[in-house]
Structure 1
Amino acid sequence: MLTFEEKIAVIESFAELERKNVSLGRVNYHYEQSAYDKKTVVYHLHPNGNGFVYAGHLSGYDIDERGMVNIRDYTADELRSIVEASIRSLAPKTAKEQAVTGDAEIEERWIGPDKQALMLLYENELWCVYAGLNLEAAFETYGEAEEYLVEEGFSRQ
């Protein structure tokens, strides 16, 4: 388990996070540029090593009712990965993403092994995968689109 100081060092490597000291020596980190009302990325990081990271928009994590993941036993790489994913999930859409998503009924951002981002949109009764402004593929069901993205090494963010 990382110490409090080691966790602080990992988290503070993200310049976009702002530290907020709270009671009992605990620390929160906020992402002020969040596109959502939710701004807290790291919640109640305690000197005993316990703490939480927001993963409410992420898949593959065991979240509580607030969308938080306990990071007590995380390694430095695991902590860095979840904090980065949390920030990305809260980030405002890029101009390209906004141009693509428009009025889509449902939209998801998927990230690949080389940090390439794809958008999965439900529009006109199809599940469409976009790389930037380019349509990569279209599927009749969400399951087919998800299978394609997973096979290509992408994960939902």
Structure 2
Amino acid sequence: MLTFEQKQAIIESFPQLTRKEISMKRLNYHFDGSQYEKKIVVEKLHPNGNGFVYVGDLLRYKTDDRGLVNIRDFSEQELREIIEDSLMYLSEIDEVVPEVRIEQSWRNRNDDQLLLVEEDPFWNVYHGFNLEESFGTRDDAENYLYSEGFKPSKK
């Protein structure tokens, strides 16, 4: 585990971040170039090594309900990567990015099929071409599918 000082040095190697001292000797790091209202990239970095990085709804990370990832046990490489991902997530997009759709087939015991599709900002469940339900998060959509007796299809 990296020490507080090591984490602080890694975070401060990103010139886009501005350090702000908060209570109990903790630090926040702000990104003033954020295109969103959210500007804090690193929250509550504590001298005991605990802290959080904001990644919003990036699927690569397991976040809490506020889009934060605990970095207590992160390596230097992991910490650098998550900060880079956060900065990219919060940065203004200068080029057109092709839409990426995540689709997953789900089946029940009767072999009925539903399709889970990410259509920003929603997770939609389709029966054929018909919209069955719509959810704000993937977890909510998957919980619905499981509660209805569906499981992800094997490919």
TM-score past 0.5 threshold: yes
- Which residue does the alignment assign to 1:59? 59
Amino acid at match of 2:80: R
What TM-score, normalized to structure 1? 0.63
Q: TM-score, normalised by structure 2?
A: 0.64
- Structure 1 equivalent of residue 87 of structure 2: 87
Distance in 1 between the 2:39 and 2:20 partners? 12
Q: Map Cα deviations across residues 30-71 of structure 1 (whole Å, 9 max, x no partner).
A: 000100000000000000000000011411211001100000
How many residues are paired up? 105
| 2:4 paired residue number | 4
Aligned to 1:143: 103
Partner secondary structure for residue 77 of structure 2: helix
State the partner residue of 1:36: 36
Q: Tell me the residue number matched to 1:19.
A: 19
- 1:78 maps to what in 2? 78
CA deviation after TM superposition for structure 1 residue 142, in Å: 4.1
Segments of 5+ residues of structure 1 without an aligned counterpart are 101-118, 122-126, 128-140, 147-157
Q: Which residue identity lines up with residue 91 of structure 2 in the other structure?
A: A
3-state SS of the aligned residue for 1:24? coil
Question: Displacement, 1:120?
Answer: 2.6
Question: Between the two proteins, what is the percent identity of the paired residues?
Answer: 53
Runs of 5+ in structure 2 lacking a partner? 105-117, 119-155
Larger Rg: 2
Q: Secondary structure at the match of 2:103?
A: helix
Pairing 1:120–2:80 present: no
RMSD: 1.8
Give the residue type in structure 2 aligned to 1:47.
Answer: P
Name the structure, 1 or 2, with higher relative contact order (CA <8 Å, separation 6+).
Answer: 1
2:9 maps to amino acid: A
Which residue of the partner structure matches residue 69 of structure 2? Answer: 69
Give the structure with the higher percent helix: 1
Partner amino acid, structure 1, of 2:81: S
